[in-house]
Structure 1
Amino acid sequence: MEYEFLRDVTGQVRVRMSMDHEAVGHWFNEEVKNNLSLLDEVEAAVRDVKGSERQWQRVGHEYTLWLDEEEVMIRANLLALEDEGMEEGMNYYNEESLSFCGVEDFLAVIAAYRQFLQQYGSKG
């Protein structure tokens, strides 16, 4: 899973992810937006479900994050609504709306995001 951090014209930190993981970047850009307490919450949830069969989810404004001991799934909230309205035989998948990754990979992105903010400062 490849990613990069950059600043937009307003100074806001943006995350750009590799193909198949775009929704992870959108989650950071739309839900996190320098909110390190949300990242603390996710990291605590990872520790909480470790060694168990429990799952955890956090519904955000635009994206919902689900995780269990091994995997993280990020799905656009709009995608859930579109699925319900699909005609039979129609299959919808949008890489920008749904991403899966391993918990360890996701934690590495969180750590890199924190480091980028610490190194380059956070605005906004």
Structure 2
Amino acid sequence: MTDKMDKYRMVKTLTESQVSDLMDLYKNEFWSDKRTREDVVKMLAATDVIIGLVDEGDRLIGFTRVITDFVYRAMIFDVIVKPTHRKCGLGKVLMDAVLNHRELQAVESFALNCLPNMMPFYERWGFTDDVGEMKFMRRTTG
């Protein structure tokens, strides 16, 4: 990590205050701006791996999470960095932390969803949209 990133540390659980920071991060994004605190607390409790980046004041400035069986599949969600801290390499720090996480080393396949403009960011870790004949399917209830 560069000197600039040395002032941040990683956490694997969030304090109440950091959950509030996460809510602030979510409010900035179209894909998460409708999330409620109650639902986010429930989501965090059901998440297998949480990686947060906090600043010197313990404020959450970056976050991602993984749902996994720890063997075959892992799904990466919510790679997010506070707008004022973007373009500093913190997204890379989060992704490296996921893919180098000791509990995830045996996982056969990682997946994530992203907008087309974010594909080059994830390709550096070997992510591809070339998944052969596989198709993504979804069912929503809302």
TM-score range, shorter chain: under 0.3
Q: Which has the higher helix share?
A: 1
Under a length normalisation based on structure 2, what TM-score does the superposition of the two structures give? 0.26
Under a length normalisation based on structure 1, what TM-score does the superposition of the two structures give? 0.28
